[in-house]
Structure 1
């Protein structure tokens, strides 16, 4: 019997990445919308995730938090979807490389920039990303050949890092470069990406005039 898969999210969160991942898998899951504020800090939720944040999944008795970890876990838990190179495949090295480049240097660089933090030249060795220019050049390097990040097919690494690229260019936290725009255009047109976007947009609060 299949284990229950429950997705805890908010449409105004990185849960959008996980929603896309779940839609790519094509497996049944149940969504629990968690509101910001008291709901995320309520004992029932923090008992599962003491950080009191989304996204999070519960797969049977397994609880996974952090978007990159959730994507990596789901790709391995549902190998039939083909969203990760199998163990032993040399492409798995590139898969891990870019998945965690997104979770580490890209995430940190974007967060620092949003807070107006820019490491000086003497400080760059102290942070994992060096400087924003280094991050941008690395992203461009990753997608310059026009293919996918880990071999000849789409993977969870593309989904996760691609989401960051798409969001970053949309909100102005990452510089628009032609190679990045071409890459994101290819990913964002996937049927699962479009389904996930429509589902989360439908959950957004109505705007008041």
Structure 2
């Protein structure tokens, strides 16, 4: 039995996309983004009070990088992983976890634009800095994707899933129009059926009510 605890448009979408790519049977427990994740029952699954939590093989995993590596080890025939000794293993690990570099900036912007709901709580300086840092992440990906269809030469992998989901969140705050290789790659991977299945369903409560949140103009 595989059970994923998930909230729409959060990092748990990364694990949901992975499970759809693997084509395994699983169930999803949806959570609202908020205080219910701090209940005693949920904290027993993820002590940080965040999603995801993945119940599998009689154990509970949290942290998306750990979940991704575990699933790739469990299902090696999927081709989504790069096992120890594989010539692409180092690159796979680097880019798999680069998703968190992107996500930390998106998380800061999510806090500024959404969690801090009063204008006086927000910092335009923080918003501007974090959006600029996303731009640097985009530039790193643009360079990596020159002449490549996917992040690794060996083809689509969990690195594309992890970074692709991180970019899905980041694009709510920093557009990528000036990065053609990145934009082409993102368009390619988001056409995949597994990605489409990981999107919020119609009528679902979303973290992001808007498609884009610009840095506010100076007063």
Per chain length, whose mean CA-contact separation is higher, i.e. which structure has more relative contact order (CA < 8 Å, sep 6+)? 2
In 2, the alpha carbon distance for the partners of 1:194 and 1:133 equals: 25
Q: Deviations over 1:86-144 (max 9, x none)?
A: 221111111001111221x3223344456443899xxxxxxxxx955542321211212
Contact 1:45 1:52 in 2 (8 A): yes
The alignment's TM-score, normalised by the length of structure 2, stands at 0.76
Distance in 1 between residues matched to 2:128 and 2:204, nearest whole Å: 36
Question: CA RMSD, aligned part only?
Answer: 2.6
Contact 1:109 1:132 in 2 (8 A): yes
Shift >6 Å, 4+ stretches = none
Could you state the TM-score of these two structures normalised by the residue count of structure 1? Answer: 0.80
Measure the CA separation in 2 of the matches of 1:131 and 1:205: 28
Counterparts in 2 of 1:113 and 1:11: CA distance versus 1, 3 Å? closer
Is the 1:92–1:150 contact (alpha carbons within 8 Å) kept by the matching residues of 2? no
Cα 1:49/1:111, change in 2 over 3 Å: closer
Match of 1:31 in 2: 28
Residue in 2 aligned with 1:141? 143
The answer to whether the 8 Å contact 1:85/1:150 transfers is no
What does 1:120-159 align with in structure 2 at a 5 Å threshold?
131-159=133-161
| 3-state secondary structure, aligned to 1:117 | helix
| 1:1-209 correspondence to structure 2 within 5 Å | 4-103=1-100, 105-112=101-108, 115=112, 116-117=125-126, 131-169=133-171, 171-176=172-177, 177-197=179-199, 200-202=200-202, 204-205=204-205
Separation in structure 2 between the aligned mates of residue 118 and residue 191 of structure 1, nearest angstrom: 33
Is there any run of 5+ residues in structure 1 with no aligned partner, and where? 121-129
Does the CA contact (< 8 Å) of 2:37 and 2:49 recur in 1? yes
Give the corresponding residue for 2:216: none
Residue 16 of structure 1, CA deviation: 1.9
Distance 1:167 1:182 in 2: 17
